[in-house]
Structure 1
């Protein structure tokens, strides 16, 4: 795999996680309607949503917060030829932290564990931005 495009693979993996969460949310919402714990119209403006699908919906929202900074820094590292092996490894660690965060969010939803996983991802993205700043300085 050429190092010039290797930084794109963690971005593709992160996007795959988003699609997986979308599918899980659809499955849980359809399941709630079938089980009678929600009505289809409850999802027009989902202010009240059954917990199993609400946690997935919130997890999905999380995938469009911190990961946006991840996508931008990866693209910038690629464009500026700063996607070193270190940057690639950190990018993969970020994706692992997001997968773990999402798994906790949609299963046990243990807040302290989720917070630690979020913090790990936050630090990893911060490091990527520092690497970019050093590279372009």
Structure 2
């Protein structure tokens, strides 16, 4: 490993957030153009049309569990515990977040969304456990 592999999943997670913000803008604009919403509604986030509400909720999800991902990734790098198992778990977390966000903004079907959330949660828990083990035995 060259030393910065742990940061690529962080970049990918950030790209997901940027894409979701772009999608939110597109869906809000489409709702206004179709007459289903007025621009003023978005100033105070009231009466959000359902097609943009799911995107807004998906964005909110990216500032909940992923905050712990950012923290552990940086700590893993700082403690030099960012080896291959950690990088693999980080990519699993990010892939699960992409899948979760995709389901959230399309069908929003919990049957598919919940297992993706669980996979990401387990990968994140694995990262924290890995950090704890690394610190305990270093």
**Cα offset for 1:50?**
0.7
Does 1:93 pair with 2:66? no
Distance 1:66 1:112 in 2: 19
Q: Over aligned residues, Cα RMSD in angstroms?
A: 0.8
Does 1:84 pair with 2:83? yes
Q: TM-score, normalised by structure 1?
A: 0.97
Aligned to 1:8: 7
Q: SS state of the match for residue 90, structure 2?
A: helix
Aligned to 1:45: 44
**Cα offset for 1:47?**
2.4
Q: TM-score, normalised by structure 2?
A: 0.96
Q: Which is worse superposed, 113-122 or 8-17?
A: 113-122
Q: SS state of the match for residue 63, structure 2?
A: coil
* Count of aligned residue pairs for this structure pair: 136
**Cα offset for 1:8?**
0.3
**Cα offset for 1:51?**
0.6
Aligned to 1:108: 107
Poorly superposed stretches of 4+, deviation over 2 Å: none
**Cα offset for 1:109?**
0.6
